[in-house]
Amino acid sequence: MAEPNILDAGQLLDRLQRQAQTRRQFVGWGAGGLGAFFLNAAEAKTAPAGEALNFARDPSTPLSVLPPQFTPKVKRVIYLHMGGGPSPLELFDHKPVLTRFNGHDCPESFLKGKRFAFITGIPKMLGGQFPFHQAGKNGTWISDRLPHLERVIDDVCLIKSMRTDQFNHAPAQLLVQTGDQRTGHASLGSWVTYGLGTENQNLPGFIVLISNGGTTANAGKPLWGSGFLPSVYQGVPCRSAGEPVLYLGNPPGVSRSERREVLNAVDEINRHTYEEFGNPETVTRIAQYEMAFRMQLQASDAMDIRREPQAVLERYGAEPGKTSYANNCLVARRLAERGVRFIQLYHWGWDSHGTPTDEGLNVGLVKQCKETDQPTAALLADLKARGLLEDTLVVWGGEFGRTPMQDNHAGGEETKFIGRDHHPSAFTIWMAGGGVKTGMTYGETDDMGYEIVKDPVEVRDLHATMLYLLGFDSQKLSYTYQGLDQKLTGVKPARIVSQVLA
């Protein structure tokens, strides 16, 4: 066969099509036989009764609603990820013993066999930088940095014994968001929209809102990526100021009906391509173009916080026209009302190493709390007042905790930084919403806030619990890829933390 000439495009296409047909015939897509062994997981599986769940849908409506496996407690999730690792010792974990040891050299036993991100030599112990007190009906300990959350603390379930095995940002964020510290796995929101679809077909099912850090996290876009799941389940980052999605609107001079005609033509071409090559991603692409067309009408309205009364804007501390966590929280509530399944917020800047000082505990953390405390509490109260909290799951947390030792980048010498290093052994998150036992604290760390002494919760346990609240057995929400039934919770056993469930 002659080398294809760029001018022989038609011949090239013809040859490719013939090759494709031959391969298809060999594997036997149409006729079964050997091909049956290699059935694409996206095609409908006839599973034996009681075994694998079938998530097959018409590829042109990939986000259509599927009922959960069993009766759920929640119908949607709002995940508030505090990027960088917020310090529990300055927010929730009250350690008076650690305060007594403030300034002392760190004992050898704490350092032996451990690997730190930045600490070198022998660091000093660092007591909590802010005073703690008890709040709420059950005397929950909380620092003075969260005066607004304090007022709704009885609606929250604190978990102080979260544990991870990753001590750096990117792998730790990936672990919390996708269940694995490597890239390539599907994020929480992708799994949830894959399993449940979304109620509002005119908005994406998985929306990402970012504040305080540009558009990329340490781990980048894979944090809301679909991994091995079909790409339609990836998160859609939206902006809370200006156009929600860039280039969603029509170019100047192009009316909506003209756009419709263009789309019809593009759909036609894509459909021909699908008939030739049978790639379900092509149909998904058609669906995404259609979704974008529908979003033109609904997305701007959904994300426009100017439509809210002034009283509501003040409660959140939201300022229309700017990008802020407060704006994102208000948008999150509006999206929850409009049937969006998974709303992921990111707020960066909690990495309180103390270098530079405005990332330190006494400056940076103060600013972080001021930016996030009021809107978070307002979101909880607002969801509750509208009756949405009882079937929404709200999760707040970072990717790891912070060491009870002072971060000393220079190692051993007198250090001016007031900060803590990354600490995977123990960190705090909280959950609120349907099915969650509120007004309680689960798990304990030791007197120094170093190791967990009671009820450790692995990240996969948290994921299993979240999926349970959504109506799924984490072992049954799976997708076959690379010869394995991939699951959010991975291959190690994951327990549902029944003690935090109502």
Partner 1 sequence: MSALAYLGCVGLITALGVGLAMQLRPPFGHAVRQFVGLETEPRANTDSFYAVRVAPLLDSRCAGCHGARMQKAQLRLDSFAGLMRGSRHGAVIEPGRIKDSELFTRISLPASDDKAMPPSGKTPLTADEMTVIRLWIAAGASGVQRVVAGAPSPVREIKLPEVDPRAVQKQRAPLAAAVTRLQSRFPGVIDYESRSSANLEIHAALNGPAFGDAELAALLPLKDRIVWADFSGTAITDASASALAAMTSLRTLRLSNTKVTDTTIRALAPLKALRSITTAGTGAREVALAALRQRGLAVYGGGDAQ
HEC secondary structure over 69-97: CCCCCCCEEEEEEECCCCCHHHCCCCCHH
Residue 339 CB, shortest distance to partner 1, in Å, is: 6
Instruction: State which of residues 386, 411, 412, 484 lies at the interface with partner 1 (CB under 8 A).
Output: 386
Is residue 71 at the binding interface for partner 1, with CB under 8 A as the rule?
yes
Is residue 478 at the binding interface for partner 1, with CB under 8 A as the rule?
no
Is residue 387 at the binding interface for partner 1, with CB under 8 A as the rule?
yes
Is residue 338 at the binding interface for partner 1, with CB under 8 A as the rule?
yes
Closer residue to partner 1 (CB): 79 or 468: 468
Q: Candidates 259-267, 314-322, 345-353, 379-387: pick the segment binding partner 1 (CB under 8 A).
A: 379-387
Q: Is the dihedral of CA 266, 267, 272, 276 positive or negative?
A: positive
Is residue 485 at the binding interface for partner 1, with CB under 8 A as the rule?
no
How wide is the angle at C-alpha 307 spanned by C-alphas 302 and 313, nearest 5°? 105
Q: Candidates 67-75, 97-105, 133-141, 226-234: pick the segment binding partner 1 (CB under 8 A).
A: 67-75
Instruction: State which of residues 114, 455, 481, 485 lies at the interface with partner 1 (CB under 8 A).
Output: 455
Is residue 440 at the binding interface for partner 1, with CB under 8 A as the rule?
no
Say how far apart CA 186 and CA 454 lie, in whole Å: 31
Q: Which parts of 11-50 interact with partner 1 (CB under 8 A)?
A: 49-50
Cis peptide, bond prior to residue 356, ω within 30 of zero: yes
Give the total residue count for the chain.
502
Instruction: State which of residues 19, 32, 40, 70 lies at the interface with partner 1 (CB under 8 A).
Output: 70
Chain centroid offset of residue 27 CA: 39
Question: What's the longest Cα–Cα distance across the chain?
Answer: 82
Q: What is the per-residue burial (b if ≥16 Cβ within 10 Å, else e) of 81-115?
A: bbbbbbbbbbbbbbbeebbebeeeebeeebeeeee
Say how far apart CA 166 and CA 411 lie, in whole Å: 22
Q: Candidates 12-20, 25-33, 451-459, 477-485: pick the segment binding partner 1 (CB under 8 A).
A: 451-459
The answer to whether 149 and 439 are in contact (CB under 8 A) is no
Residue 443 CB, shortest distance to partner 1, in Å, is: 11
How wide is the angle at C-alpha 502 spanned by C-alphas 75 and 165, nearest 5°? 80
Count, residues near partner 1 per rule CB under 8 A: 31
Instruction: State which of residues 65, 263, 312, 381 lies at the interface with partner 1 (CB under 8 A).
Output: 65
Is residue 301 at the binding interface for partner 1, with CB under 8 A as the rule?
no
Query: Six-digit token pair at 42?
Result: 């996206």
Closest C-alpha among 113, 141, 110 to residue 128:
141
Query: Six-digit token pair at 342?
Result: 């998974």
Instruction: State which of residues 289, 473, 480, 485 lies at the interface with partner 1 (CB under 8 A).
Output: 473
Instruction: State which of residues 60, 69, 273, 279 lies at the interface with partner 1 (CB under 8 A).
Output: 69
Q: Which parts of 200-239 interact with partner 1 (CB under 8 A)?
A: 200-201
Instruction: State which of residues 297, 453, 484, 491 lies at the interface with partner 1 (CB under 8 A).
Output: 453
Is residue 391 at the binding interface for partner 1, with CB under 8 A as the rule?
yes
Query: Which chain residues interact with partner 1 by CB under 8 A?
Result: 49-50, 53, 65, 67-72, 199-201, 338-339, 384-387, 390-391, 453-455, 468, 471, 473, 496, 498-499, 501
